Amino acid sequence: MRKLHLIAGLLGVLVFVLSGQVMRSHKPPVRSLEDGQRMMYVSRHIFILGSALVNLTLGIYLKLEGRGWRRKLQVAGSLLILTLLVLLTLAFVDEPGAEIAGRSLRAAFGWFTLLGGSLAHFFAKVGAVRAAAN
C-alpha cells in the first residue's frame, strides 16, 4: 500500500503542476474570469495538491497492522484515499465551467472519501495503540 500511495502522491504532484499549466494557458485568462468560475478553478487546483500530499504522506509513513480487522480497515481507508486524486482531478476538469451553481458532486465525493479513509486509518491505529499499551 505504501508504494501505491507514494506513486499516487507523485502522480498527484504532476497533475497539480499540469493543472497549473492549464490555468496559466487558459483562454480567457483565469484572472479575468468571473469570481465564481475563477474560485472553482483555483480551489480544485488546490484540492489536487492536498490529495497528492495526503498520498505522499501515507506513502512515506504508512505501516499496515498485522492480520485482522485493523489491517482490513487500513486497506479500505487507503483505497478510499487513493480514489481521492481521481475524483478531485475530475472535479478540476468538469466543475469550473459550470461555476458555483452548477457544480457536480465529484469534489464533495472526493472529500467524503478523504474523511472515510482518514477515519478508517485513525480507528485502525487507535485500536492498535491501545492493544499495544495493555
Cis peptide leading into residue 29 (ω within 30°): no
116/62 Cα distance (integer angstroms)? 16
Percentage of residues in the chain having pLDDT higher than 90? 42
What residue has cell string 487558459? Answer: 26
Nearest alpha-carbon partner for 84 in 52, 61, 59: 52
The DSSP-derived string for 53-92 is HHHHHHHHH----SSSHHHHHHHHHHHHHHHHHHHHHHHH
Report if pTM > 0.85. no
pLDDT in tens, the chain (134 residues): 899 999 999 999 999 999 888 878 777 776 766 766 777 777 788 889 999 999 999 999 999 888 889 999 999 999 999 999 999 888 877 766 665 555 667 778 888 999 999 999 999 988 666 666 65
- Domain regions of the chain by residue span: 2-133
* CA–centroid distance for 3 within its chain: 16
122-133: pLDDT as tens digits: 999 886 666 666
63-90: pLDDT as tens digits: 988 888 999 999 999 999 999 999 988 8
